[in-house]
């Protein structure tokens, strides 16, 4: 049991100061912008909740949000089961385990814009390995700078390439923490492979899977650099996800007020969904 000790605050203080400095000040700035109108030259006018109303009703925001939702749901549906399946197929011990883990972690350690650039080079229709193979060897017409569907698929495949390993690592960690006795007992009880998965592996992976889904949800909802470098949001607006749209508004058009209001709406959605999900997934434990 943990003892009640208000000295805890003293220990947390450095973290508190550092995170508050980084989180609260910018957040206050954003809130401040979100209720004002600017005409450059640092002139600001109070506009109340006008930006919020406008954004919540704007087609553009709805479209970006829709694309974002579609993207996030798609990658979750692919990455979570795929990651779990790969983790299940991995050997539990032996020489190959660290080798697999190191190779699988590589994509996680590549700077995000390099990931985008790498996939750009990889998919160029004339000189990229994937693009060339699809067009000239398999005879599939593929050019993601012109075809929105191809661009979508590419962005999703890139994200699967980039992040599935995180799900694998987390699931694998959950799997190896299951004591051997559980598998032995299941064997003796005559459980099928499906039963072992359903009643032993899945429950024991629940905690790490909660983390995996949460992390993947948050990060995919905030994704910016990789798709921006890969497609620039195009062709047209087809791969303009929320963050890309936001930066277009904020920097491209210098509409600080709407951009700030948009950020806050966007932040609120992330928070609400994460909270809801966290509560649902951990409900049984309390």
Per-residue binding string, other proteins, 24-43, x by CB under 8 A, is -xxx-xx-------------
126 binds other proteins (CB under 8 A): yes
256-282 vs 50-57: helix crossing angle, rounded to 10: 70
Report the chain's terminal Cα–Cα distance, integer Å: 16
Q: Which of 36, 72, 154, 164 binds other proteins (CB under 8 A)?
A: 164
Interacting span for other proteins (CB under 8 A) from 53-61, 139-147, 148-156, 168-176: 168-176
Q: Which of 62, 73, 153, 184 binds other proteins (CB under 8 A)?
A: 184
192 binds other proteins (CB under 8 A): yes
Looking at residues 73 to 92 of the shown chain, list those that interact with other proteins (rule: CB under 8 A).
85-86, 89-91
Enter the tokens of residue 43.
């002139």
Q: Which of 153, 203, 252, 276 binds other proteins (CB under 8 A)?
A: 203
182 binds other proteins (CB under 8 A): yes
Per-residue binding string, other proteins, 224-263, x by CB under 8 A, is xx---x------------xx--xx--xx----x--x---x
Q: How far apart are CA 66 and CA 266, in angstroms?
A: 12
How many positions of this chain bind other proteins (CB under 8 A)?
Answer: 114
Calculate the dihedral angle through the C-alpha atoms of 121, 125, 129, 130, rounding to the nearest 10 degrees. 100
149 binds other proteins (CB under 8 A): no
Interacting span for other proteins (CB under 8 A) from 39-47, 52-60, 72-80, 100-108: 100-108
Q: How far apart are CA 186 and CA 180, in angstroms?
A: 10
Backbone angles phi, psi at 76, to 5 degrees: -65, -45
101 binds other proteins (CB under 8 A): yes
Name the pairing type of β-strands 36-38 and 44-46.
antiparallel
Residue partners of 55: CB distance under 8 A and separation at least 6: 61, 258, 261, 262, 265
Q: Which of 38, 200, 234, 238 binds other proteins (CB under 8 A)?
A: 200
> Phi-psi region for residue 223, left (φ > 0), alpha (ψ -120 to 50) or beta?
beta
8 binds other proteins (CB under 8 A): yes
Q: Which of 52, 71, 174, 239 binds other proteins (CB under 8 A)?
A: 174
CB of 30 to other proteins, least distance (A): 6
Whose Cβ is closer to other proteins: residue 2's or residue 59's?
Answer: 2
String of DSSP letters for 134-176? IIIIS-----TTT-HHHHHHHHHHHHHHHHHHHHHHHHHHHHH
């Amino acid at each position: 049991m943990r003892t009640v000790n208000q000295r805890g605050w003293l220990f947390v203080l450095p973290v508190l100061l550092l995170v508050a400095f980084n989180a609260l000040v910018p957040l206050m700035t954003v809130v401040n912008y979100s209720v004002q109108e600017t005409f450059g030259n640092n002139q600001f006018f109070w506009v109340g909740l006008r930006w919020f109303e406008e954004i919540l009703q704007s087609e553009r925001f709805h479209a970006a949000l829709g694309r974002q939702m579609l993207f996030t749901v798609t990658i979750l549906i692919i990455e979570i089961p795929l990651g779990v399946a790969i983790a299940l197929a991995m050997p539990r011990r032996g020489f190959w385990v660290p080798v697999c883990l190191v190779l699988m972690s590589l994509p996680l350690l590549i700077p995000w814009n390099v990931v985008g650039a790498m996939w750009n080079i990889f998919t160029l229709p004339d000189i990229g390995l994937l693009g060339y193979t699809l067009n000239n060897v398999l005879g599939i017409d593929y050019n993601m700078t012109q075809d929105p569907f191809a661009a979508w698929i590419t962005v999703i495949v890139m994200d699967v390439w980039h992040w599935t390993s995180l799900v694998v690592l987390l699931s694998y960690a959950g799997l190896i923490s299951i004591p051997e006795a559980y598998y032995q007992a299941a064997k003796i009880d005559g459980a099928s492979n499906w039963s072992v998965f359903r009643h032993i592996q899945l429950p024991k992976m629940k905690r790490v899977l909660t983390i995996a889904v949460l992390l993947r949800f948050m990060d995919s909802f905030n994704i910016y650099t990789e798709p921006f470098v890969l497609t620039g949001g195009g062709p047209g607006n087809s791969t303009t996800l929320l963050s890309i749209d936001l930066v277009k508004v904020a920097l491209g058009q210098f509409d600080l007020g709407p951009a700030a209001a948009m950020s806050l709406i966007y932040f609120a959605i992330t928070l609400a969904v994460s909270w809801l999900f966290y509560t649902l997934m951990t409900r049984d434990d309390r």
